[in-house]
């Protein structure tokens, strides 16, 4: 029997682990892939208070070591189902566990664009992670799709390796930080393709290009690129929790700044819950809030 089980070892989950252990609780953290969460793919974090620059990997490694050092147990197991009751039952691919309080911190996953053959071409030129795959496109031309901070960071990262980076955004205003847009505008090998949407991946076995349409003029252009990096945001992955918590129409767990889900003893922390601002700082804050509440169960 654990006092607290945390599902997900990203920033919210690991922070919850730190706070749970510091509250003297027996804590288990379950993770289906590797610890670290989305931030692991960010080359340089420069908006976490007190750290002017830190790589996502270094940040995640530090969080993990801190949680384990304080006594959290970590198991790389995929959670299959959760059952509510006097205690919570958590069934994974390997085991079944019981706990008094449960914190869901499953984050979010990359949103696909929905182009034909998009999934089939992953690994053949289509990628959702510039830091993981960027080096394969050294001296090549690539496209980044999206207008948020991830797309801007991906474009900046890729511009260090690639011959040319096209940044394709459906509007002419970016959602991401203006400071990052300004840096990209100064780069000679970055081209802005604005008011435009991708309509077709070109190439048979490998990507050879991307067809884009200008949404104002309907003009079609074929960009000769060998890499397509899709960075159009995230979506949650909460379907297995529908029996124990309520989801909003986009699939996020309904919980407010207290991280309470409405089901006693079950909390939702970080990007997996309904919230206005999904940042590293807010994920860490949720982890702390959820664990301190869960520690009272």
Does residue 4 contact residue 266 with C-beta atoms inside 8 Å? no
- Exactly one of 61, 66, 89, 149 binds ligand NAP (CB under 6 A); that residue is 149
Kind of pairing between the strands at 79-83 and 209-214: unpaired
**Residue placing its CB nearer to ligand NAP in the complex, 76 or 112:** 112
175 binds ligand NAP (CB under 6 A): yes
Contacts for 73 with CB less than 8 Å, ≥ 6 apart? 2, 27, 28, 29
Annotated catalytic residue 132: yes
How far apart (Å, rounded) are the C-alpha atoms in residues 253 and 86?
21
Least distance from C-beta 3 to ligand NAP, angstroms? 31
**Catalytic residue chosen out of the listed positions 3, 21, 99, 133:** 133
Minimum Å gap between C-beta 71 and ligand NAP is 30
Q: Give the C-alpha separation, 1 to 227, whole Å.
A: 48
Tell me the window of 7-15, 41-49, 213-221, 253-261 that interacts with ligand NAP (CB under 6 A).
41-49
DSSP per-residue codes, 251-271: S-B---TT-B-SSTTEEE-GG
Q: Using the rule CB under 6 A, which residue among 233, 235, 237, 240 binds ligand NAP?
A: 233
Dihedral over alpha carbons 135, 139, 145, 151 (to 10 degrees):
60
Per CB under 6 A, 153 contacts ligand NAP: yes
187 binds ligand NAP (CB under 6 A): no
Would you tell me which residues interact with ligand NAP (CB under 6 A)?
42, 45, 47, 113, 146-151, 153, 170-171, 175, 197, 231-234, 278-279
């Amino acid at each position: 029997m654990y006092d607290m089980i945390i599902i997900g070892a990203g920033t919210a989950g690991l922070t919850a682990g730190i706070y749970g252990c510091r509250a003297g609780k027996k804590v288990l953290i379950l993770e289906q892939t590797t610890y670290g969460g989305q931030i692991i793919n960010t080359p340089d974090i420069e908006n976490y208070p007190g750290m002017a620059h830190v790589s996502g990997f270094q940040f995640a490694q530090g969080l993990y070591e801190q949680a384990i050092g304080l006594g959290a147990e970590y198991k790389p197991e995929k959670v299959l189902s959760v059952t509510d009751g006097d205690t919570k039952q958590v069934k994974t691919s390997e085991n079944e566990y019981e706990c008094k309080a449960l914190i869901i911190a499953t984050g979010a996953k990359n949103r696909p664009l929905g182009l034909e053959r998009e999934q089939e071409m992953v690994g053949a030129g289509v990628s959702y992670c510039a830091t993981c795959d960027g080096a394969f496109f050294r001296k090549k031309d690539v496209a980044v799709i999206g207008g948020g901070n991830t797309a801007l960071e991906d474009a900046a990262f890729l511009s260090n390796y690639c011959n040319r980076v096209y940044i394709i955004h459906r509007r002419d205003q970016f959602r991401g930080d203006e400071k990052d847009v300004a840096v990209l505008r100064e780069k000679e090998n970055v081209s802005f393709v604005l008011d435009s949407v991708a309509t077709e991946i070109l190439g048979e076995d490998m990507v050879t290009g991307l067809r884009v349409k200008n949404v104002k003029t309907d003009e079609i252009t074929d960009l000769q690129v060998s890499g397509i990096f899709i960075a159009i945001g995230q979506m949650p992955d909460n379907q297995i929790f529908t029996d124990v918590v309520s989801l909003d129409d986009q699939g996020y767990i309904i919980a407010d700044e207290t991280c309470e889900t409405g089901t006693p003893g079950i909390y939702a922390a970080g990007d997996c819950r309904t919230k206005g601002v999904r940042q590293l700082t807010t994920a860490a804050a949720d982890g702390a809030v959820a664990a301190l509440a869960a520690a009272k169960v």
